[in-house]
Amino acid sequence: MTGYDFVVRADRVLTPGGERPAAVAVRNGRIAAVTGRIARLDTHLDLDLGDLALLPGLVDTHVHVNEPGRTEWEGFATATAAAAAGGVTTIVDMPLNSLPATVTADALAVKRRAADGQCQVDVGFWGGAIPGNVADLAALHEAGVFGFKCFLSPSGVPEFPPLSWPEFDAALAELARLGALMIVHAEDGARLAAAPEAGPSYPEFLASRPDEVETGAVHGLIERATRTGARVHVLHLSSAAALDRLAAARRAGTPITAETCPHYLTLAAEASSAGATEFKCCPPIRDAANQDRLWRGLAEGVIDCVVSDHSPSTPDLKRGGFDTAWGGIASLQLGLPVVWTEARRRGHTLADVVRWMASAPAALVGLHRKGRIAEGADADLVAFAPGEEVIVTPDALRHRHPLTPYAGLRLTGAVHRVWLRGREVDGEPAGTLLTREQA
């Protein structure tokens, strides 16, 4: 076969080998060739993006969709519309905040039925590890979840309680047997209980979740991953105080990885005003010096990827003080320009951002055809204007409730067009529900 369904050409194509001028040829939803920019290619449609950058579709492995059960917080139709608008072509949905929680194979089937026919991008699912469900983990693994999430401190919803360390050890032993990944909300419950009680102001909230709540959990995870050889991933790292131990463990070969989020890289505790609970999340946004250290951790490879932890709620749950408001930030649509704006200011390249937000998250969950522009990969592509300025206006956001700490910010970078497996995303629900076997 010599003909291609379409060819897209650009001066800046982000490939695994670096950024270069290229032509990308697509056939049957896959990238069939990556060749010279002016190569003659037999195709039905030849698109030239000029100086727009062509990126692989981003992969966001930390998204709370909340449907079914709490669809008024966020649903698959709105979440995947926001993802597509932000250049995210694959999401992996978290197992909590929906009802039922995804802690059994039957609950996973309920979640998949709710998502079916609604998704504008591809969607995979995490399973959950909670007290008493060790016997359910094998069936969930067999059903195709990409790994298992647990908490070491209260999750905020009663149907997804945290694991004690002995319960964590039992679950981790089962996941080691299965060869599955454990992803962990790494705040230590005992240290959290011993910290000062949260108050309504941001300084009081920050004091209630000090660095040692995170570092204590991370140290415990490192010890267990080292001892068992099981794969462990630290979710939404906020405290840079954990980086040195993580770096040492990585150098020693411990199978532990970590992620952080756009809000930890771009927002600082000093900028949070009284009552601005759209900034509240757990673990918390810390100070600017901590933020600088997180960027160094990214640059040095101690932190593997940047994902949204998109965790929306209804607006009424964000009212009140920092002691009572829901802890979650909705940012699925904004992650790329938010991160690129700050990364560019700090001297990082677009290739760095693609690695953090596309190829590394795809590798984390074994989606080998996602997150890269290379022959054989899915033709998930994003036409991106890296120098275009945009102002965040809530009415342009496509997630269910346009509440965001980024409102009014001037960002650099705009998504112009998105293709999912070779088909331009146009608002129709053309996404696929993924299982681990499809990786």
pLDDT digits (tens, 9 = 90+) for 279-327: 999 999 999 999 999 999 999 999 999 999 999 999 999 999 999 999 9
Token pair 């905020």 is found at 156
**CB-based contacts of 393: which residues, under 8 Å, 6+ apart?**
407, 408
- Name the phi and psi angles at 370, rounded to 5: -110, 160
Sheet containing strand 122-125, edge to edge, reads 58-63, 88-93, 122-125
Of 93, 215, 220, the closest CA to residue 167 belongs to 220
The whole-number average pLDDT for the span 226-232 is: 97
**CB-based contacts of 225: which residues, under 8 Å, 6+ apart?**
231, 232, 249, 254, 255, 256
Going by the DSSP 8-state scheme, the letter that residue 228 receives in this structure is H
Confidence of residue 222 (pLDDT cuts 50, 70, 90): very high
Supply the mean pLDDT for the chain.
Answer: 96
* Helix/strand/coil for 222: helix
* Helix/strand/coil for 297: helix
The whole-number average pLDDT for the span 424-437 is: 95
Residue 439 confidence (pLDDT): 53
Per-residue pLDDT of 137-167, as tens digits, reads: 999 999 999 999 999 999 999 999 999 999 9
Residue 57 confidence (pLDDT): 98
Q: For residue 48, what is the enclosing H or E element?
A: strand 46-48
Are 287 and 294 within 8 A, CB to CB?
Answer: no
User: Can you tell me the distance from the alpha carbon of 120 to that of 298, in angstroms, rounded to the nearest whole number?
Assistant: 30
| Structure tokens, 197 | 């009680």
Does 273 have pLDDT greater than 70? Answer: no
DSSP code string of 395-419: GG--SSS---TTTT-EEEEEEEEEE
Does 136 have pLDDT greater than 70? Answer: yes
Are 290 and 239 within 8 A, CB to CB?
Answer: yes
Are 137 and 174 within 8 A, CB to CB?
Answer: yes
What distances in angstroms separate CA 45 from CA 5, 12, 220, 414, one per listed residue?
A: 7, 20, 54, 24
User: Can you tell me the distance from the alpha carbon of 425 to that of 155, in angstroms, rounded to the nearest whole number?
Assistant: 34
Going by the DSSP 8-state scheme, the letter that residue 355 receives in this structure is I
Residue 1 confidence (pLDDT): 55
Residue 240 confidence (pLDDT): 98
Confidence of residue 275 (pLDDT cuts 50, 70, 90): low
Of 255, 172, 156, the closest CA to residue 164 belongs to 172
What distances in angstroms separate CA 323 from CA 207, 280, 320, one per listed residue?
A: 11, 9, 8
Does 258 have pLDDT greater than 80? Answer: yes
Does 2 have pLDDT greater than 70? Answer: no
What distances in angstroms separate CA 405 from CA 263, 267, 276, 384, 409, one per listed residue?
A: 9, 9, 8, 23, 9
CA atoms within 13 A of residue 400's CA, in its CB half-sphere: 20
Instruction: Report the first-to-last Cα separation within the chain, whole angstroms.
Output: 25
**CB-based contacts of 359: which residues, under 8 Å, 6+ apart?**
16, 56, 59, 371, 372
Q: For residue 18, what is the enclosing H or E element?
A: strand 18-27
User: Can you tell me the distance from the alpha carbon of 233 to that of 183, in angstroms, rounded to the nearest whole number?
Assistant: 5
ω into 394 cis (within 30 of 0): no
The whole-number average pLDDT for the span 32-46 is: 95
User: Can you tell me the distance from the alpha carbon of 67 to that of 72, in angstroms, rounded to the nearest whole number?
Assistant: 8
Does 328 have pLDDT greater than 90? Answer: yes
* Helix/strand/coil for 167: helix
**Which amino acid belongs to residue 171?**
A
Does 226 have pLDDT greater than 90? Answer: yes
| pTM metric for this prediction | 0.97
Burial of 134 (0-12, 13-18, 19+ CB in 10 A): middle
Confidence of residue 272 (pLDDT cuts 50, 70, 90): low
Burial of 395 (0-12, 13-18, 19+ CB in 10 A): exposed
Confidence of residue 403 (pLDDT cuts 50, 70, 90): confident
Per-residue pLDDT of 49-107, as tens digits, reads: 999 999 999 999 999 999 999 999 999 999 999 999 999 999 999 999 999 999 999 99
